[in-house]
Structure 1
C-alpha cells in the first residue's frame, strides 16, 4: 500500500514550523498518540501535551543556526532528517507516519556525521 501523502514534504513542513517557532502548527503535524524517543536527552514521551512540553523550551531559545537542513532522505516506510537542533548541533531524526500523514513516531540522536 502506497501512502497518499508526501512524507518528505511533511518533514520539510515540520522543520519550517520549528524555524518559525510555531508550536501549535508543529504539534498539528503529530498524531494524537505520537511517540518521541530522544537519545539526545535520554527521554521517551508520547501525546500532544508531552510533545508541547518537550518542544516549547526548544522553540523559545534557539541558536542562530537552529533548524538548518543538512540532509533528508526516504528510508523504508519513513524519512531520515539530519538537521541542526535548536542548539545548532547536528541531530538525526527518523520519522514514521500514520495513514493520515501525521507523524506517529520519531527517534532522534546526535548525528554521526
Structure 2
C-alpha cells in the first residue's frame, strides 16, 4: 500500500467532481467499493451501479453550482477531504484504499458550517 499515491487519487477524484466526469470518478473506485453518506440520513451504496446512481445527480449539481476543495489531509489508513458546494455547504469525506490503488470506501458527513455563511442544507 505504501507505493500508492493516495493523495493523487483523491486529487483526481476532486478533478472528476469539478468537471462532472462520472466515468472517470467511478474508475477511481474498486468494483466492490462502498459509499456511506450521512448528509441527509444514512445511505449506503455498494458496487459500480449503485455508486453511479449515487454520484450521477450529485456531479451534475457540483458542476453547475461549484465544487471547492477546502482541505485535504493524509490520515492513518487513508485521506480526509473537506469540500464545499456552492461556496458554502461543507462536506467531509474520508477515503480508504485497496491494495490495488482504488478507493474501496468513502464516508461522507456534513462538516460544521461557517457561521457567517449560514446553513445551506
Point out 4+ residue stretches in structure 1 off by more than 3 angstroms. 85-88
- For structure 2, the 5+ residue unaligned runs are 114-121
Name the stretch that deviates more: 93-102 or 77-86: 77-86
Query: What TM-score do you get using the length of structure 2 for normalisation?
Result: 0.85
CA RMSD of aligned residues (A): 1.7
Contact 1:59 1:86 in 2 (8 A): no
* Pairs aligned (count): 111
Q: Do the aligned partners of residues 86 and 57 (structure 1) sit closer, same or farther apart at CA in structure 2, a change above 3 Å counting?
A: farther
Contact 1:67 1:88 in 2 (8 A): no
Query: What TM-score do you get using the length of structure 1 for normalisation?
Result: 0.90
Residue 71 of structure 1 pairs with residue 71 of structure 2: yes
Residue 116 of structure 2 corresponds to: none
Give the secondary structure class of the aligned counterpart of 2:67: coil
The 5-angstrom pairing of residues 34-113 of structure 1 reads: 34-41=33-40, 42-62=42-62, 63-64=64-65, 66-85=66-85, 88-112=88-112
**Structure 2 Cα separation of the partners of residues 55 and 28 of structure 1:** 12
**Structure 1 Cα separation of the partners of residues 90 and 49 of structure 2:** 26
- For structure 1, the 5+ residue unaligned runs are none
